Structure 1
Amino acid sequence: MPGACITAADWGWRHAGRTVPAVAGLDLEVPAGQKILLAGPSGAGKSTLLYALAGVLDPADESEESGSLRVDGAVSRELRGHAGLVQQDPETQVILSRVGDDAAFGAENLQVPREQIWDRVRDALDAVGLGEDQGISLARDTSRLSGGQKQRLALAGILAMRPPLILLDEPTANLDPSGVLEVRDAVLAVVERTGATLLVVEHRLAVWADQVDRMLVLEPGGGISHDGSPGELLAPGPVRDELAAAGVWVPGRVPTPITPTSRNWRSNAHRNGPGFGQYRGDIDRQMQGVVDGAHSPTAAPSGVLLTARGLAVSRDPVTPGWRRRFGATPKPVQRDLHLELGAGEAVVVTGANGSGKSTLLLTLAGLIPSHAGTLTAGTVLKGERAGHLPDDPHRWKAADLVSRIGTVFQEPEHQFVATTVRDELLFGPRHARDPETGQRLFTDEEAAARADGLLAALNLEPLAEVNPFTLSGGEKRRLSVATVLAAGPEVVFLDEPTFGQDANTWAVLTGLLRGLVAEGRSVLAVTHDADFAAALDARVVELEVAA
């Protein structure tokens, strides 16, 4: 099947509950087989355009469409199997419980002959690094895949369909550096073989710029601001400078972090005991991935917030009776970890997809139990209740945990509980309680001041009254970080904190977190973003995939 043609004439889309359209006045012609890199600032409507082309937007849900958008002359939502879309959040695209079945789902629904499906599935999984030669069987439980592996699986399902239009929304955002090139090359190979038309949204342009025919830059709320070859638009000159000023990630340029000036939401040190957050983490030992030899547990030094000895981590908790009910004890994704997190310190954990980075983060944050070994909170983190709290944060009550540790999950939607952005930011400070007395930590006025400060700092003020679930991917990520900071924890754990950010919002988000570290709070982030690690002057810890 040849590639699809796309035409747009004064097309626009306004999402339900919004007064301003996500896209407006779009005029576009894409010939069959063209490869396009779609760029633009966060919130410019890139994902909206992809969703419309995939046929998953419907005016019947109180949204509003204007103008005309056609794929091969037809309204895209009336076509079946014509477009394959990989969304920003891979969790939303995992349907079946086994890797092979999930990758085959799209092809089966298109009634591809059975004798062809499994050859396609194996080829697609091999291409994205999830084949049996890479240690992933067709029967592997999809729930045991990492976020990056799920992103690869979603792409494999699309490649197995072999649609004439391939739409990719930040397909490499959660991948390790080698995986980025592997996935990109897999997409390009399928496009070359099938002649499909390709539209890929990516903030970091360098990965795709030399591989595509054309680059389109969307204007927030408007049409296309720039249209040309990447070589033309990204060459030194006024156009390149204009794109950089608008927030486009121009290859070779790393923005300078911007630290917000508002301080009315930053610290809760007054309530956590004398000296909390005052340490600068004068710890000279480096966190190590694997430790040789035995380590006897010792009390954490005064400037150390968390100490792990012989730590093993797994999403499958070892509970009493496990062997009797389920068989052999589950294998941890990492073992024998020895690490420390100091007050006033930034640490970045990186490594290949499937190495257990997110699992380690959730364990250190006290949200899942350790598989083996010890995790000890220091007296600085425990604060005034040091004598009443267990050593392991996983055994703390929710009020004790939330008042000390904030966690930003890999999927922003998993944190949203309110119907507006403002209420989302108010939820934490309104419900924050002193663990000992049960009294509120913030008055309504203080909670409002914290929310307003974060709205301003992260450029979310225009979106204060909209539903969080209608935000763009980058906006959701900034909101998820803000909701955690609103409650004022002294330790913040973040999973892929810069996902979906343009250069300008990256500068603000990175500057905000750098400012927290400078004030004595601690940040531990799981990320593949080397620029982020450098901007925070973070200690980098690389995990290897366990044998």
Structure 2
Amino acid sequence: MTRTPVPVAATEAEPPVVATGAVGVSGLTWRPYGRRDPILSDLGLALPPGQRVLLVGPSGSGKSTLLRALAGVLEVAESGELAGSVTIDGEAPHTRPGAVGLVLQEPGSGVVAATIGRDVAFGLENTGVPRAAMPARVTAALGAVGLTMPEDTPTHALSGGEQQRLALAGALALEPTLLLLDEPTAMLDPGNAAAVRTCVGEVVAARRLTTVVVEHRLGPWVDFADRMVVLGRDGRVVADGAPEVVLAERGAELVDQGIWVPGFPAPEPASLPPGLFGPGTLGANEVAVDAADVTVARSVRLVSGGTRTTLAVDGQWLQARAGQSLALVGPSGSGKSTLLLALAGLLPVDDGVVRVHPTLARHGERHPAEWDTLDLARTVAWVPQWSSSTIVAGTVLDEVMATSRAVGLVEAEAEGRAHALLDLLGLRHLEQADPRHLSGGEQRRLAMAAAVAHQPALLLADEATVGQDRLTWAAVMGVVEALRDAGSAVVLTTHDEAVEARCDRVVTLERPVQPPAPPTPRRPLVARCGPLSLLAASAAAIPAGVLSPRWTATLVVVAVQVLLGALALVSPGDGPQPRGRLRGVVTRLVPGVIGALSVAWSSWLLGGRDLEVAAGAGLRVLAIVLPSAVLISHIDADALGDHLAQRLRLPARPVVATAAALQRVHTFGDVWTEIARARRVRGLGASRRSPRTVLAELGALTMGMLVRSLQAAATLAVAMDARGFSTAYRRTWWAPAPWRVADSVLVVGSLLPLGVALLARAVL
């Protein structure tokens, strides 16, 4: 069925738009395997076309689960018992590509492409939109959500709030009949949140979209919605009607359930057991950490191979004092999270200095970035924006106890405090559960418990109350204020006005003024080739290395490869020379050199200790890996998918899935860094005084990467299928896949070492 988008301003001469997007839910029940009770229980709903629904309920009531069911992706990443049915205009959601636009709760985990323009276009490709029509729709969607940076901006360079807007742009570009938004403004500052709500309202009105919005904070969305559906903790509908009617009749009851009802003040923070935290190390109002004129620049690698450097924090001054809480506020992208990392000693500063109070200094060193992992863990706690990155243990209780055990606290005392924190935060019944299986809100509360259980002198929490209902918000703030009252210094980044109102001091950050962009560096010759020729040239090295007869011939092959590699890295034209080309090749070549030396050593031992045999074996390995060290880094995963599908006519589904997976490889460095930071600040990182812990840390980081990659793959599958990937039977492509003269030259040049090997084989 072809759907024609409704223009924003229709003229009287145009025919009336036929409303679509009628949603039917009948007997929907969902119980994930391993859970005793269902999340959704015999749920029934009917949404007429164009209706705007505000779906509310306490944490754990199944709101996000219902959105996934409406999108037809409930079983993509989870297994369980599913009963009942969901239809859109009488058809199952997954049978209509592009009919549903879904914005996930953690939008960054659903990024499918390397650049923001390509990411927004992903759904358009799946629904068969002609290439010529894509740029306008991509630009309009990005502009509608306020993402004004270049469309080649790397997706991994976006802040949490910017990733949220990118996910919304991807959903709006589809022009769906049903729009599903899971806390679409949770990570945004008030100004950007209002702009996004306005954008959603205009698009929904113009296209008459059926819309379901999940939000904990009802106030800003009440005027948008014409229906409110309330889910109880058992996954059943407990209230349904016009928002003003439901709020008037059951407002107080909803507040008691934990729902943020407009007109009711924020709750008082929950109380912790007396004496849970002892007296702090510093005296009241002493400066625990001082940031003086701190500047942090962030560099991101572009798909084209160059880099783009921006100022994340510019000349910031800050003091966090013992016994006080400080709120960092400001628009998305103003550097709040970056400054928090700098205060924790987890990110080096480019200018300025971060110092702690002399009493907190370790071994006379006042700069946290120079401390050993245990020294850092004793003093500093960090709660990141996405708390899944800090999980280091296999059970909830062990997660809370991890830092206390690492720094050597008494087990019985630490366990008593852990139980009390889990009780307050509503997690005691989950203490033997795997923390990776908790909901997003539960993981954030767990991260807070794990951060404060050993009573650090400095707590740095990034958006700690996002995704919390009134009851869990009161619990989180109770923990924060109890730690503050015990004498610790607390710094919170937040967009939550209720949190801001309870803090002792507020510091507002502004987006740094960016310096003029430097001239674009010249592109190396190899960067002007397509992915297929790069792969072919890398593969040509395999027979060249295998067929080379003697070490002398192989040495000539390697010499030819070195000359060709140097030529490939030449950058003719105007503009500055690109930097780091040789360093990058050497870095990528290190594993290959180690492998070549290992093979040479083994051949020497097993080959009668013949140096010629050893040299030949080692040089063959080097000949095989050397071209890849020069070429592979220039392969763009998205472009590879384009070329495999359009030029080689490979099936679109495996090609796109492979390209999306390869795109994630570019983020492995960032993920590795996140996990390493979490382990370092929890006292589990490698000690600078112990080589043994370095090996243990490498193993832990590798396992963490594996687990995180599996989790990311599941979420990525949901994000892709939510934008029509599973039913993309008639797919178009955002970018062309040309074969240029440069590609032919590269392939011919890559055959020269093979020719040398064959000639040597014939002569010798």
What TM-score range do you get, normalising by the shorter chain? 0.7 to 0.9
Q: Does 1:337 align with 2:316?
A: yes
What CA distance in whole angstroms lies between the structure 1 residues aligned with 2:308 and 2:472? 44
Contact 2:164 2:184 in 1 (8 A): yes
Runs of at least 5 residues in structure 1 that lack an aligned partner in the other structure: 270-275, 282-302, 434-439
Does residue 99 of the first structure (1) align with residue 112 of the second (2)? Answer: no
Equivalent residue for 1:280, pick from 264, 280, 284:
284
Structure 2 distance, partners of 1:105, 1:256, is 42
Q: Would you say 1:543 and 2:543 are equivalent positions?
A: no
Deviation at 1:392, TM superposition (A): 1.4
Instruction: Kindly indicate whether residue 196 of structure 2 is the aligned counterpart of residue 183 of structure 1.
Output: yes
The Cα offsets for residues 79-123 of structure 1, whole Å up to 9 and x where unpaired, read as 432211111112112222212111111111222111221111111
* Contact kept in structure 1, 2:277 and 2:482, CA below 8 Å: no
The whole-number CA distance in structure 2 between the counterparts of 1:497 and 1:254 is: 19
Match of 1:449, SS state, is helix
Residue 245 of structure 1 deviates from its aligned partner by 1.1
Aligned-pair CA distance for 1:213: 1.1
Structure 1 467/205 Cα, relative in aligned 2: closer, same or farther at 3 Å? same
* Residues 249 and 327 (structure 1), Cα distance of their counterparts in 2 relative to 1, 3 Å cut: closer
SS at match of 2:73: coil
Cα distance change on mapping 1:416 and 1:71 into 2, 3 Å = farther
Alignment pair present for 1:309 and 2:292 = yes
CA shift for structure 1 position 406: 0.6
2:477 corresponds to which of 470, 488, 510: 510
- Of 384, 389, 404 in structure 2, the residue corresponding to residue 409 of structure 1 is 384
Tell whether the 8 Å contact from 1:304 to 1:343 is kept in structure 2 after alignment.
yes
Change (3 A) 1:329 1:5: closer
Q: Counterpart of 1:234 in 2: which secondary structure?
A: helix
Contact 1:454 1:482 in 2 (8 A): yes
- The one of 420, 437, 441 equivalent to 2:409 is 441
Residue number in structure 2 paired with 1:71: 88
Q: Is 1:277–1:519's contact at 8 Å kept on the other side of the alignment?
A: no
Equivalent in the alignment of 1:58: 75
Equivalence for 1:428: 403
Residues 139 and 316 of structure 1: is their aligned pair in 2 closer, same or farther, counting only changes over 3 Å?
Answer: closer
Match 1:364 to one of 322, 338, 343: 343
TM-score, length-scaled by structure 1: 0.86
Question: Is 2:188 the counterpart of 1:170?
Answer: no
Give the alignment of 1:80-91 within 5 angstroms: 80-91=97-108
2:186 partner SS: coil
Shift of 1:327: 8.6
Aligned to 1:291: none
Structure 1 counterpart of 2:501: 534
Match of 2:520 in 1: none
Residue of structure 1 in register with 2:591 after alignment? none
Residues 192/86 of structure 1: CA separation in 2 closer, same or farther (3 Å cut): same
1:17 corresponds to which letter in structure 2?
A: G
Paired residues of 1:262 and 1:453 also in contact (CA < 8 A) = yes
Shift of 1:314: 3.1
How is 1:9-408 mapped onto 2 (pairs within 5 angstroms)? Answer: 9-58=26-75, 61-131=78-148, 136-235=149-248, 238-262=249-273, 266-267=277-278, 276-281=280-285, 303-316=286-299, 330-382=309-361, 385=362, 388-408=363-383
Listed as ranges, the gaps of 5+ residues in structure 2 are 4-18, 514-764
Q: Flag the 1:28–1:152 CA change in 2: closer, same or farther, 3 A.
A: same
495 and 59 in structure 1: CA distance in 2 versus 1, 3 angstrom threshold: closer
Q: Kindly indicate whether the alpha-carbon contact (under 8 Å) linking 2:377 and 2:403 is maintained by their aligned counterparts in 1.
A: no
Say if 1:258 and 1:328 are closer, same or farther in 2 by CA, change over 3 A.
closer
Which residue of the partner structure matches residue 481 of structure 1?
Answer: 448
Cα distance change of structure 1 residues 49 and 329 upon mapping to structure 2, 3 Å threshold: closer
State the shift of 1:493 in Å: 0.5
Q: Which residue of 2 aligns with 1:465?
A: 432
Report if aligned partners of 1:492, 1:524 keep a CA contact under 8 Å in 2. yes
Q: 1:4 aligns with which of 21, 28, 49?
A: 21
Residue 128 to residue 329, structure 1, CA distance change in 2 (3 Å): closer
Deviation at 1:34, TM superposition (A): 0.8
Residue 426 of structure 1 and its aligned partner are, at CA, apart by 2.7
Provide the rounded CA distance (Å) in 2 between the counterparts of 1:74 and 1:452.
48
Aligned residues of 2:100 and 2:180 also touching (Cα < 8 A): yes
Counterparts of 1:213 and 1:78, CA distance in 2: 28
Match for 1:97: what amino acid? A
Q: Tell me, yes or no, if the aligned pair for 2:282 and 2:359 is still in contact at 8 Å.
A: no
Q: Secondary structure at the match of 1:500?
A: coil
In structure 1, the residue corresponding to 2:459 is in which secondary structure?
Answer: strand
Q: Structure 1 stretch 479-488 or stretch 517-526: which is displaced more?
A: 479-488
1:70 deviates by 2.8
Contact 1:5 1:71 in 2 (8 A): yes
Q: Secondary structure at the match of 1:403?
A: helix
Is 1:264–1:453's contact at 8 Å kept on the other side of the alignment? no
- Letter of the aligned partner of 2:499 in structure 1? F
Q: Matched residues in 2 for 1:221 and 1:428: separation?
A: 35
Secondary structure of 2:512's aligned partner: coil
Q: Which protein is richer in helix relative to its size? A: 2
Q: Quickly say closer, same or farther: Cα 1:328–1:424, change in 2 above 3 A.
A: closer
Q: Which moved more, 1:344-353 or 1:137-146?
A: 137-146
Contact 2:30 2:82 (C-alpha < 8 Å) held by counterparts = yes
**Structure 1 residues 441 and 75: CA distance shift in structure 2, 3 A:** same
Deviations 1:132-189 (A, max 9, x none): xxxx111122222111111111110111111111111000001011111111111122
Aligned mates of 2:366, 2:430 — CA distance in 1: 41
Report if aligned partners of 1:458, 1:505 keep a CA contact under 8 Å in 2: yes
How many residues matched? 493
User: Alpha-carbon deviation of 1:226?
Assistant: 0.7
Larger radius of gyration: 2
User: Contact (CA 8 Å) 1:315, 1:368: kept in 2 or not?
Assistant: no
Shift of 1:472: 2.5
1:68–1:327 distance in 2 versus 1, CA, 3 Å: closer
- Structure 1: distance between partners of 2:96 and 2:309: 45
Specify the SS of the correspondent of 1:137. coil
1:406 maps to amino acid: A
Residues 387 and 444 of structure 2 are in contact (CA less than 8 Å); yes or no, is this contact kept in structure 1?
Answer: yes
Specify whether residues 442 and 78 from structure 1 end up closer, same or farther in structure 2 by C-alpha distance, changes over 3 A only: farther
Q: What corresponds to 1:290 in structure 2?
A: none
Residue 339 of structure 1 deviates from its aligned partner by 1.7
Q: Which moved more, 1:210-219 or 1:506-515?
A: 506-515
Name the residue aligned to 1:295: none
Q: Is the 8 A contact 2:272 2:482 kept in 1?
A: no
**One-letter amino acid of the structure 1 residue matched with residue 311 of structure 2:** P
Offset from partner CA, 1:274-303 (integer Å, 9 cap, x none): xx434221xxxxxxxxxxxxxxxxxxxxx2
How many Å separate the matches in 2 of 1:450 and 1:78? 51
Equivalent-residue separation in structure 2 for 1:373 and 1:59 (angstroms):
48
User: 1 CA distance for matches of 2:84 and 2:110?
Assistant: 30
- Matched with 1:497 is 464
The alpha-carbon deviation at position 391 of structure 1 amounts to 2.2
- Which of 365, 374, 394 aligns to 1:419? It is 394
Measure how far apart 1:264 and its partner are: 6.9
Deviation of 1:59 (Å): 8.3
